[in-house]
Every structure is written in C-alpha cells, then in structure tokens.
Structure 1
Amino acid sequence: MHTGRPRYGKDDAPDRESWPSYTSQQASDTLVVAMGRMDECPARARLLSAFMHAPAAASLPRPFSPSLLLALLVGAAFFALHYPTLASFPDFILADAGASLKLDVLLASELRPGVDFGYTYGPLSAVVSRIGYGLVGRTAPAHLALVALLSLGSILGLARCMARLETNWTGLAMALLCTQFFVRNFGFNLTYGLESACLLNALACHMEGRRDRALALAVLAALVKPSMGILYSALLVFWILRRVPGLREAWRQLRPAVVTATLALTACVAILGFQSTLRTAIPLVGAVHYSARGARFTRLITTLVAPSGVNFKYYLGTLAGFWILGTALLVLGAARALSGVRGNQPRAEVGVTCAVLHLAFTTLFFGPWQTYLGLLVVGVFCVVERGAFRWALVAIALVGSTEMVRAGIRGWKERTPDAHLLGTWVRPAERQEVNEVLRVVGSQPMYFLTTGFPEGLFPGSHGSRSWFVAPGVFSPAEQEAMSRDMRTSPVVVVSDLYQGAGILQWDWVRQSLTHHTRVHSGELFTVFVTGAPPVRP
C-alpha cells in the first residue's frame, strides 16, 4: 500500500509515439503528480510555475508530416488543374500578371518604383521580382513557376497553423480546400503569394509562442506590401510588451525583427535606392489608388456581400457565403476569446489578432479579398471549437469551390499553349484577333496604352513607362508622358478589357487621340492610326 507523497512511475510517463496526442493539460497534471504538492517545497513551486508559464511551443504537438505532404500534393494537383487559366493570354498581355513582367522591364531600365513610376506595393516585392525573373526568365511559365513556389510557402504556413490547433479532420479538410484558393488567386502577381506566405508562417510562429519569429516575418510582410503586415507588426509589439517582465526581455523579443528589417532594407536600398525604398515602404500610392476606386464599404457590398442581380445560389455556389459566415463567427468568437488572451493563451491571442486584422481589412483597405482568406480561416478555427460549426464552414467552402474546379476544367478544353505568345494559353478567338491586329497595322511600330505586357508580344512595339494604367497609380508626370507618346505615335493600341468604365472614357486619352482614327475594335484591342479610314461598324 502506497502512503505519503505520490511518486512518479515510469509507466505514468507518455512515450514518444503518443506524444502528438499528449495535451498540455495532461502534461501539467503529470508534473503535479511527479513533484507533489507545491506547498510542500518552495523549489518545486518555482519549477512548476516556470513550466506553466513557458512558451506554448513546448506543450503543443509538432506538425503532422503526412498532413503537410498531403496538402502539398493537393496543391500541386490544383495548380495543374488551373494552369491554363493562370497562363491565360489576356492576364499576361492586358492585366495583373503581365504587370509583374512589366515591373521587371521597368526595373531593368533603371526606373525606380515610387520615384519614376507609381507603385502600390512595398520595396521588397520589387526586389524579389527583380531577382526572381532574373533567375528564371520573363515569360508566363517562368512567372507561374515563381507563383507555385510562393504558394508552397502559404500552404506550408496554413498547414502548420492547423496542425498546432489540433483540429483533426476539419482543419485538414479546410487546409486542403484552401490550397486551391491559394494557387488560383496568387497567380496575378508575386506580391500576393509572398505576403501571404510571410503572414501565415508568422501566425504559425505566433501560435507556437514564438512572437519574436512571428514579428520578424510580419516585418517582411510589411515590406512586401505596406498594409496588413504593418498592422500585424504593431499588434505583435503590443503582445510582446504586454507579456515580458522588463526591458531586457523586451529587447530580446524585438531584436530578430530589428535585424531582419535592417537586412531587408539594406538589400532594397542597394537595388532600388534610398528614395525609392522610402517612398514604396509608405502606403501612400496604394491609399490613393483604393480611394480612386470608390468608397471601401461600397466596394465590399458591390463586389462581395451583395452584388447586383444575385440570389441565394450566389452565397452557396461561391466563397461569398463562407466569407460572410466566417466573418460573423470570427467576430463573435474573438469576443469570447478575450478571457483567454488575459490568461496568456497563444491560441486565443492569435484568434483575436486575426479578428482585428480581418476587420481592419474590411473597413480600412478592402481590396482583393481572396488574398487574405488564409487569415480568416486561421482566425475562425482558433476561436470556434465546436465541430459542427467547423464542419459547416468546410461544407460551405467545398460547395463554393466547385465552380473554380469547373472553370479549371473549361480552361483545359478552351485554351492551348502558344510559345510565340510569351508561352501563354490562348483561345482561338484571341489568336484570331492578334492576327487581325497584325494585318491592320502591318509593319508599323505600335504604342500600347494598357496594363500588362503586350510589348513583349509584338516585336518593335513599346508600351507606357507606367507599371499599372489605373486611376491613382500613375502620377501626373506619367500621364503627361503617356499623352505625349500617344500624340506622336502612328499606331496606338488601347485595351478596355479590365478597366471597368475603360481607358477610352478618360478625357485626356480622348484628347490625345484627336488626330487618330479607329481602325479596329475587338474584344481585346482597340487600334488607332493616323491618316487611315475609320473602322466599319
């Protein structure tokens, strides 16, 4: 018969194989049994107190490698499914993906973002683009290879978060669904994938109790795109200063971020120059651009919550239903998680942080909402513990993603690759219009006024010296240069495909084309030449 103080036997200890399921509460109970009552020995009390306040990473399970491997395989499958759509001809010639290639052309011409041309992102994104395209080339397949690499970082970050949350099958299912969202929406430019990879891996470190590493990654995200990363960095500094006992420990937690920021800024200054680095690190151009696109709340309603002409099928057949329900659950769950924040629980802290970030994005700088979907997913799964709610979110996301799968299948049926068109995938009608433009223009050099990289397609042509032809992005000096180039060019090609009201609705563009005649008006291109008969209706 055992009497006196409880003893710790070897049979009571968890073996290594059962460690992933060994929770922090079980570890605490075992330690209490092993050490006896705290009041029997002050030394034991101090040791137990140190254990209970240790970083959460010590008590959380390590990410489950098979789950990570499965997520990567599923992500590769979705990337293959959507490849023809990601490499579509219009996206590279007339839209965002082509703007990424255009950025590299401008940088190679020694033009500086924020100084010589408007640029809405941070200096680190320009540096990564310059290095990346310098290594793999300036084509559609090269761009998508870089996109795949950055999507891999986002997938790993989300999988790490779900593994730390111990969400079992619901977390794994959601992580697998999100791989499609990542590879489909990060193809527009390198900035989206790079920022997402930094933020999601920062959240994973935050959840492990490594706020110092999380802050270093958040600082990198801020230098990639000066918006969400800035806010997350500020929140992490708040959490660090709230938790640490003194200045020495505070500096120890802040030092990795300071070193990371110093090295990153040094690289940016070396490649872009001090003035360009300073101007792009401050989100002034991005704020002007989003203001020019209309009120933030109006964009939220018209592009996501309640677009005109939709019915209930819209909320079930797209990710809008998941976004709306997830937002409501995140806000309500974060309010309940505030007590856990006071108790120094990293999971609750991350949930509240994601709620603040998500609400700031919705109200302050709402834009392409798909790029921050990972933050919403992590935040909801941090604060929602009931399996029924989690499975409901997974079901809505599954139904909402089916249209993306069908679109990927249509891409394989409708598009074929063309090595002569930057390696893009082209529909027959698009190839026919390119041939028609070449027939009308002949051997004359063309000037392109459009977002994208059309000058890479037509030899002898040239485009504007602006990165993105959109309100609030280009400066008055850029506008004057574009107007002068149009007046002096014998052939001007304009595209209204992705510009809403259209470039041709701008007064200064119409005035610059006063002495030109429209000779072609197609789905992709509108061609104006000097001294030619007008196009027939």
Structure 2
Amino acid sequence: MAFFALHYPDRAALPSYLLTDAGASLKGDWLVESGLRPGVDFGYTYGPLSLVLGRATYGVLGRTATAHLFIVAVLSLFAFVGLARCLIRLEGGWTALVLALVLTQPLVSSFGFNLTYGAEAALLLHALAFHLEGRRRWALVLAVLAALVKPSMGLLYTALLVLWILKHAKGAREAWRQLWPGLLAGLSGLLVCVAVLGGMGTFRTALPLVGVVHYSARASSWTRLIESLVAPPGVNFRYYLGTLAGFWLAASVLLILGVLRPRVIRGGVQGDTRFEVALTCAALHVAFATLFFGPWLNYLGLLLVGVLCAVEVRSARGALVMLVLVGSKALAVGAVGAWRERAPMPDRMGTWARPEEVRELEEVVRVADGRPVLFVTTGYPEGLVPGALATRSWFLVPGVLFPSEQEAIARQVRAAPVVVVPAAPMLDGLSREPWLEPSLAGHRAAFRGRMVDVLVMEGGTPSP
C-alpha cells in the first residue's frame, strides 16, 4: 500500500470533494439517505450495488474524505489480491511481477475517485482469477456482482462467461450446475438493492439507461479515445514515453496480436484456458475502447492479465516493462508534489488543500456575508462549507441530469442571493449550459478564482 500512501494528499484534494468525482461519491450516499431514488429522482450512471456499498460503509464511518479513502484502501487491497491470484496462476516471472507492482500506482490513483472503480476492479480481477483456474461458475458470480456495481464491463463479461460455460458443458444439466450460482448471486444482489433503493431505483440503475444517454450526449467513443489518449492535440513522441499512454497502446496491440496470432506471439495453442481468458480480455478491451471509452486507468489490471495470457515473448514483455517504468514517473512526481503543496484540513472533512484553495473558500464566506450560498457544483459542498446549500443532483454533466433536475436547479439559482459555480480552469462550461445560463442572468460576478466563481444577485431581488 506504499503507492496509496504516496497518493493520499492528491486523492484527498479539496477540489475533488467540492467539485468533482470524490465529492459525488459522498453526495450519492447523501441523496439516498435523503430518500431520493437513483435513476428516478436523480440521474446516476453506475449500478445500484455501488450506492448500497456507500450506504453500508459511509453509514458506519461517516461521509468524510478520511472515511472515503479508508474504504478505497480496502477495495484496492481486495483488487490487488485478485491480481496476485492471476499472477500466481500465470507464473509470469519477473516481468509480470514488475508490471503488476508498477501498475498498482495508477490503479490506486484512479480508485480514489469513487467506490465504484475499486469495487468493480476487485470483482473483475477475482473473476479472472477463477476463470484462469477453470472455475467459471464462480467467475460468473463475481462478474454478475460487478455488473450490479457498474453495468458495463461486468455485463459483457457475464455474457462471455455464459457463452464459455455453454461451450464447455456436456449437457443441459451440467450447464445449469455452472449457471445457477450466478443467477442466485444476481437475484440476491437485486433483492438487497431493492431493500435499500426501492424497486424502480434498482431497475433503472441495474440497466445502463442513464449511462447510454450520458455517452450519447458526449463525443463518440472513438473520438474520446483519440483525443484523450491516442493522439491528444499538441503532443509529440515524449507524450507516449512520459505517460502510460505508450504502455496502453503497446499492450493493446500485443493483446490483439496475441489472440489473432497465438503461435507467433505465444508459441502456444488456442485450446487452453489461458487463451480463453486472453480472448475474453481482448473482447472486453476492444469493447471498452470502441463502445464506452472513459477512465481507462481503471482497467489496466484487466489489460495486464490479458497480455500476460496472450504474450510470452520475453522481448515484448521487456518492452512493456520499460514503457510502464518510464510512463509512471509523472504520476509519482505529481504525488510527491502534492505532499509539498497540500496540508490536511481536519475541519474540512479531512481533505488536503493548497493555501490558495483555502483562501478561495474564505472569499466565498466573505462575499456571502451571512447570506445563504448555493453551490451549483458536482461534489459534496454540504459537508465542506457549514450552512452551504446545494443541488439535489449527483453529477452536473450533460446526459446525466434529468430535465426535472435541471428545472429544479434553475429555480434554486433564481432564488439564491449568492451562487457558487466551478471556475473555468476546473470545469469549463457549466454556467453557460442553455438550461442554466438564463437563470444566472440576474447575478453578477463578485469573485473569480481558479477553483470557483462567486455570483451575487443584483438588486437583492430573486429573478422571476
């Protein structure tokens, strides 16, 4: 867990809890506790089991950055045990060990954003370990649970496992013996979710309904893949060596070659379980890249297992080791810098903040001068700023907010004497959204910072 300690100040950064993902994880639990239903009263792109996990853990430990990161640490440990199980089964030698150890750094960094990423990765990696052992029915159990945590990769893996089970089964009775534990796990998980979230909330989040709308509101998966990873504007060859993009691209090519030309890349045959897992990982990886590309660091463990199954040529693995060592340097340097730049804030949910971020929050209080302050941000300002008002929505991005949520936020803004929105360097464009901009017409900027902008009502009268 050395990498977790290294990245702690960065994962506990105040803006993450005030404006973005980590705060949204806490906010989702607050919304459920308040009696709101995901997928019905507020848009939510993850699965129902994520919110149930939040209720079970935040309900005991509290909604703070400290509690959040403790839960993330436990989930990360569970995920790394799953990855270790895969390595033991694969007997990949020193290259596999180095790759796995170094990749725990970006995985830890990514898992810190919310509980969903760590829980999904842990379930998928343990499922792959069972798959490698030939215990497909137990892999199916975990894949089904992963689908209830996040209805994307887990759903696809569940479908692939069902196909593999049917392929290997010698009859209907054996197929049923392999399939029923997964069916039971799914039904049990759904019943637990219904007890916490209600029937409609569970149904609408167990299927990727909001997620599909969200992705359709953004650029295509191919466009996101190219512009954010493969060839971002203005980069040169140093980008591919100085970040993990080079490793991701090289590993992706080797994985595809490994399943298309197994005798060339592996020197093996196509009929063993390792090749089956390699083919499964390749299918999942291609689907992720082409259908629902997003935070790609989350699935580095899956990519690594696939490559270790598909590629046995020492020179290829050695090249990946060099790429991952060089590409991970920037992450480590940034984490070390966070220790120098940030300081713990016990009175701000245990977050870590830079001095200028603290000054911006103080400026919000000064401008408000005792008046109610409405934070129109993704995050959990209610826990960070005493007396703060906030939206009753989870994530303020296109495709996630329902029209009813947009109307409710617009009404809140028109009535609020002081409104705080993310500053352009943080989350550009929210205040210019067509559904929000007219409601801000009656406010003027009283303060513009690097983290937030503070707008006050002109004339002191709410807009109609």
TM-score range, shorter chain: over 0.9
| 1:229 equivalenced with 2:146 (yes/no) | no
Taking the aligned partners of 1:531 and 1:329, their CA distance within structure 2 comes to 60
Which of 142, 147, 161 pairs up with 2:72? 147
Q: Distance in 1 between matches of 2:250 and 2:121?
A: 22
Alignment of 1:194-233 (within 5 A): 194-233=119-158
Aligned partner (choices 278, 294, 297) of residue 222 of structure 2: 297
Cα distance between partner residues in 1 of 2:178 and 2:270: 20
8 Å CA contact 1:99–1:453 kept in 2: the answer is yes
| Correspondence for 1:479 | 406
Give 1:39's aligned residue: none
In structure 1, the residue matched to 2:368 is 441
For residues 439 and 255 of structure 1, what CA distance do their matches in structure 2 show? 61
Q: CA offsets per residue over residues 494-533 of structure 1, 9 Å max, x none? A: 1145765411121222210122222111111111112369
Separation in 1, partners of 2:392, 2:54 = 17
- The amino acid across from 1:406 in the alignment is V
Contact 1:517 1:532 in 2 (8 A): no
Confirm whether residue 376 of structure 1 aligns to residue 272 of structure 2.
no
Partner letter of residue 111 of structure 1?
L
- Supply the AA of the counterpart residue of 1:115: V
For the residues of structure 2 that align with 1:91 and 1:408, how far apart are their CA atoms? 15
Aligned to 1:450: 377
Aligned equivalent of 1:58: none
Could you give the per-residue CA deviations for residues 84-143 of structure 1, whole angstroms, max 9, x where no partner exists?
001001011111000011111101101010010000001111110111101111100100
The CA distance in 2 between the partners of 1:392 and 1:310, in whole Å, is: 22
Cα distance in 2, alignment partners of residues 305 and 198 from structure 1: 28
Residue 44 of structure 2 is aligned to residue 119 of structure 1? yes
Q: CA deviation at 1:439?
A: 1.0
Q: Which residue of 1 aligns with 2:98?
A: 173
Deviations 1:424-461 (A, max 9, x none): 10101111111111111111111111101112222222
1:462 corresponds in structure 2 to 389
Q: How does 1:397-416 map to 2 (within 5 A)?
A: 397-416=324-343
CA distance in 2, matches of 1:499, 1:282: 31
* More deviation, 152-161/110-119: 152-161
Q: Which moved more, 1:310-319 or 1:497-506?
A: 497-506
Q: 1:412 to 1:256 in 2, by over 3 A?
A: same
1:187-213 per-position Cα deviation (integer Å, ceiling 9, x unaligned): 001000000001011000000000000
Which residue number corresponds to residue 182 of structure 1?
Answer: 107
Tell me how far apart the structure 2 counterparts of residues 204 and 498 of structure 1 sit (CA, whole Å): 42
Letter in 1 for 2:325: L
Q: Distance between the aligned counterparts of 2:269 and 2:330, measured in 1?
A: 42
- Report the more deviating stretch, 329-338 or 228-237: 329-338
1:156 equivalent in structure 2? 81
SS at match of 1:287: helix
Aligned to 2:169: 244
1:492 to 419, 427, 443: 419
RMSD between aligned alpha carbons? 1.6
CA offset digits 1:247-287 (Å, max 9, x no partner):
11101101111111111111001111111111001101111
1:344 to partner: Cα distance: 4.0
**1:349: which partner in 2?**
276
Q: Equivalents in 2 of 1:120, 1:340: separation in Å?
A: 42
The aligned residue for residue 506 of structure 1 is 433
CA distance in 1 between counterparts of 2:425 and 2:21 reads: 9
Q: Which runs of 5+ in 2 are unaligned?
A: none
Contact 2:148 2:206 in 1 (8 A): yes
Q: Which of 59, 71, 92 is matched with 2:17 structurally? A: 92
Q: What is residue 286 of structure 2 aligned with on the other side?
A: 359
Deviates more, 1:283-292 or 1:489-498: 489-498
For the Cα contact (< 8 Å) 1:417–1:426, is it kept in 2? yes
Alignment partner, residue 522 of structure 1: 449
C-alpha distance in 2 between matches for 1:316 and 1:446: 45
For residues 6-30 of structure 1, give each alpha carbon's deviation from its aligned partner in whole angstroms, at most 9, with x where no partner exists.
Answer: xxxxxxxxxxxxxxxxxxxxxxxxx
1:517/1:530 contact within 8 Å kept: yes
Number of equivalent positions: 458
Match of 2:240 in 1: 315
1:122–1:162: structure 2 CA closer, same or farther, 3 Å change rule?
Answer: same
- For 2:327, the aligned partner's letter is G
- What letter matches 1:487 in structure 2? R
Match of 2:202 among 269, 273, 277: 277
Contact 2:79 2:121 in 1 (8 A): yes
User: What is the DSSP-based 3-state SS (H/G/I as helix, E as strand, rest coil) of the residue aligned with 1:465?
Assistant: coil
Distance in 1 of aligned mates of 2:359 and 2:347: 14
Out of 312, 331, 340, the position equivalent to 2:256 is 331
Query: CA–CA distance in 2 between the matches of 1:501 and 1:462?
Result: 22
Change (3 A) 1:403 1:141: same
1:191 is the counterpart of 2:116: yes
Q: Secondary structure at the match of 2:38?
A: coil
Runs of 4 or more, structure 1, over 6 Å off, are 338-342
Partner of 1:70: none
**What percentage of aligned pairs have identical amino acids?**
56
Q: 1:283-328 CA distances to partner (integer Å, 9 max, x unpaired)?
A: 0111111221211111111100001111111000100000110110
Given residue 226 of structure 2, which amino acid in structure 1 is its aligned partner? I
3-state DSSP of counterpart to 1:507: coil
2:215 alignment partner, SS class: helix
Q: 1:169 to 1:340 in 2, by over 3 A?
A: closer
In 1: Cα distance, 2:267 partner to 2:61 partner: 47
| Bigger relative contact order (CA 8 A; separation at least 6) | 2
SS in 1 for 2:333: helix
Counterpart contact for 1:351–1:379, Cα < 8 Å? yes
User: SS state of the match for residue 328, structure 2?
Assistant: helix
Q: In the alignment, does 2:30 pair up with 1:105?
A: yes
- Residue type at the aligned position of 1:132: T
Read off the aligned partner of 1:516 and give its amino acid letter.
H
TM-score (norm 2): 0.96
Q: Deviations over 1:316-354 (max 9, x none)?
A: 010000011011000010113499998641101000000
Match of 1:424 among 341, 351, 359: 351
